[in-house]
Structure 1
Amino acid sequence: MRELQDIAREVDATGLRCPQPILRAKKALMALTSGQQLLVHATDSGSLQDFAAFARQTGNPLVQQWTDEAGVHHFVLQRR
């Protein structure tokens, strides 16, 4: 796992299919204040496109994303 700093909240959406990872991220982001960051873990292959689109549509920047050796996608979103 990459070294991460300033993560205020983490959501484990592994094993969930669209739209659940996005819905859980949206709910978690609502609990954060502006500038705080959320880390989401997802295994749904569609989440790569889904989180990029979610960031564009909501204005919450997608700060970082990567996929680990186990096939888990990780997304860091920042609350606008």
Structure 2
Amino acid sequence: MTDVIKEDQVLDCSGMLCPMPVVKTSKAMKELQSGQILKMVATDPGAPPDMEAWSRQTGNELLRSMTEGGKFIFYLRKK
């Protein structure tokens, strides 16, 4: 990881199960300006495929998806 992504907002969805991480992410993204980046943290093992599908469906860009310390971390850029 040589490039650092600077998020504009952080959303912690730890402990939430589907569909709440997607619902909360959708709500948070609506508050951002176009081009801003949301960092979303989740513990739900279903979050990676859910966020990939959500990104495709909404047109918001999934910049990076990774696992760190048992948590799934996503960086999403608002379209």
Q: Which TM-score applies when normalising by structure 2?
A: 0.93
Tell me the amino acid that sits aligned with residue 75 of structure 1: F
Query: Which residue number in structure 2 is paired with residue 78 of structure 1?
Result: 77
Q: Quick one: distance in 1 between partners of 2:34 and 2:40?
A: 17
SS of the counterpart of 2:54? helix
Gaps of 5+ in 1: none
Aligned length: 78
Q: Would you say 1:8 and 2:8 are equivalent positions?
A: yes
Displacement after TM superposition at 1:6 (Å) = 2.8
- % of aligned pairs identical? 36
Query: Which residue number in structure 2 is paired with residue 32 of structure 1?
Result: 32
1:24-49 CA-partner distances (Å, limit 9, x unpaired) = 11000000010000000000000010
Q: Quick one: distance in 2 between partners of 1:30 and 1:48?
A: 20
Regions of 4+ moved over 4 Å: none
1:41-77 CA-partner distances (Å, limit 9, x unpaired) = 0000000100000000000000001001x21000000
Q: Quick one: distance in 2 between partners of 1:64 and 1:5?
A: 9
Tell me the amino acid that sits aligned with residue 67 of structure 2: T
Q: Quick one: distance in 2 between partners of 1:76 and 1:37?
A: 7
The answer (yes or no) to whether the contact 1:36–1:78 under 8 Å persists in 2 is: yes
CA RMSD of aligned residues (A): 1.5
Q: Which TM-score applies when normalising by structure 1?
A: 0.91
